[in-house]
Amino acid sequence: MGDAAVSEEPSVAERLRFLGRNASRWILALVLLVVAVAVGVSWTLGAFDSSSANPRNTVSAGSMSQDNSSDNSAIMAATDLVPGDVVDGTATIRNVGDAHGEFTLSVKDVEDDPGPAGGALSSWLRVKVFDEDIDQPIWSGPLDALEVDLGTWSPDESHSYRFEITFPQAGASVDNRYQESRVTVTFEWNAVQAR
């Protein structure tokens, strides 16, 4: 009876044949096991996570604006001028914006009302513009041609300007053309953001 039990055990040759017939299955099982382990490891590694934040980032636009000491009012007014007279006025301009600005001064809205002889004062009157206490004018020429670059101003920078308008004296034959003539102009200060 003991011999029967021993004889039922497969021999070494039979074991090798069994392994040979099933080798592809064992290899496939081993490959599947390796793949399963690799996927499990990658899923495990994929569980690591990290994040950071920079909340409430805000960007706002600055402004380009100016303050004019004579805003919406005339810098000067004169009546009954005669040749040789000079009239003057002042204005202080301040850059109250948040940026550097390129400032300019020009004349616009020129309204000539010629007298009986047809003389137009806007092209005859001479204007000089002085920056603060500088002796030399930054502009000198006919009133209707006034246009001057005032440079780049920093925020809160201000300048005071003095205007002198002269009624030229050229002799009666010329001067008489301007009797009873009148002119109205607007001095315009412009500021454009400087880069």
**Torsion-angle region of residue 181: left (phi > 0), alpha (psi -120 to 50) or beta?**
beta
For residues 179 and 68, which has the higher predicted lDDT (pLDDT)?
179
Task: Give the torsion through C-alpha atoms of 93, 94, 97, 100, to 10 deg.
Answer: 90
Confidence of residue 60 (pLDDT cuts 50, 70, 90): low
**159 belongs to a structural domain:** yes
Look at 17-31, 114-128, 150-164 and tell me which has the smallest mean pLDDT.
17-31
Residues 107 and 173 in one domain: yes
- State residue 31's pLDDT score: 67
Tell me how many domains the chain contains.
2
Look at residue 22 in the predicted model and tell me its pLDDT.
67
Say whether both 39 and 73 belong to one domain: no
- Cα 32 to Cα 29, 43, 44, 94, distances in angstroms: 5, 16, 18, 81
Torsion of CA 172, 175, 180, 184, to 10 degrees: -170
> Do both 97 and 139 map to the same domain?
yes
pTM for this structure?
0.67
In a domain, 60, yes or no: no
Q: How far is CA 72 from the centre of its chain?
A: 27
Identity of the residue numbered 154: S
